[in-house]
Amino acid sequence: MMIALIKKDLSFLFKSSIGYLYILTFFSFSYWYYSKYIFIHDQATMTSFFYISHLLLLVLIPAITMRSWSEDKRSGMLDFLKTFPLTEWEHILSKFASALLFFLLILVSTLPLIILPIYFGNPDIGLIVSGYIALFLLGSSLISIGLFTSSLTKNQMLSFLFSLGINYGFYFLSTPLFINSMPSYISRFSQLFSINYHYTYLSKGVLDFHSAFFFILLTFFFLFLNNIVFHYQRAQP
């Protein structure tokens, strides 16, 4: 039944062509920014790709997840799902798995970009691998945030805006604007909760356990919040 639910969510993304639009949008913007550094600035690395990609995901992931629970609520599908002999966690992990599989397809679509730095230079393969690991961990945590916000409302746009707000809230905790406006003891502590801070470490080849653990913990935290919301909604008549 979990596989059936995963197929249902994936089929919506592709049958409506919206999934192809998401992939094309991400690939087009990332390739444009990335190729600019390859051909204009003569930098045969993927650093620019990993930089622009994580900014795009802050917006793209909420767009992918905004309908996950919201559409089920609006269409009445949620009431039907309540009758399935699945645990609450199985329901949530089905949603998470479908969004994560789709996100992996987006990452796979960018693999041809590796050809450019290999052709024009001698890139650090380890740096490329760590960059993709960082993107995967970031995407996983953003998906869990998006699923949580989608579980709170029937309105997809509200879900999108709420998710976007949380994403950028975690992002700005390590930006100069926030750090310079806060006392030093607060700014040093706030960086520990910044997705930008941890992503930067991982994408630059610093495979720090604490940064990886942060994204894993963030993912499970919002999945746990999603479970609380789903438990409450499932108990409603």
Q: 115-167: per-residue pLDDT in tens?
A: 777 776 677 787 888 889 999 999 999 999 999 999 998 888 999 999 999 99
Cα angle 125, 131, 132; round to 5: 95
Q: Helix 195-203 and helix 156-172: axis angle, to 10°?
A: 70
Q: If you average pLDDT over residues 10-17, what whole number do you get?
A: 77
Position 185 confidence tier, pLDDT thresholds 50, 70, 90: low
Burial class of residue 81, CB neighbours in 10 A (0-12, 13-18, 19+): buried
Q: What is the mean pLDDT of the chain?
A: 83
- H-helix or E-strand containing 37? helix 18-39
- Give residues with Cβ within 8 angstroms of 50, minimum separation 6: 131, 134, 135, 203
pLDDT score of 236 = 66
pLDDT score of 235 = 67
Position 189 confidence tier, pLDDT thresholds 50, 70, 90: confident
Percent of the chain exceeding pLDDT 90 equals 26
Q: If you average pLDDT over residues 193-219, what whole number do you get?
A: 85
Domain count, the chain: 1
Ranges 61-70, 116-125, 189-198: which has the least confidence: 116-125
Structural domain that includes position 149: 2-235
Q: What does the DSSP 8-state code read for residue 205?
A: T
Higher pLDDT, 141 or 111: 141
- Compute CA distances 174 → 38, 44, 192, whole Å: 28, 28, 8
- Nearest Cα neighbor of 218 from 186, 201, 196 is 196
Q: If you average pLDDT over residues 161-188, what whole number do you get?
A: 79
pLDDT score of 119 = 73
Sign of CA dihedral 116, 122, 125, 126: negative
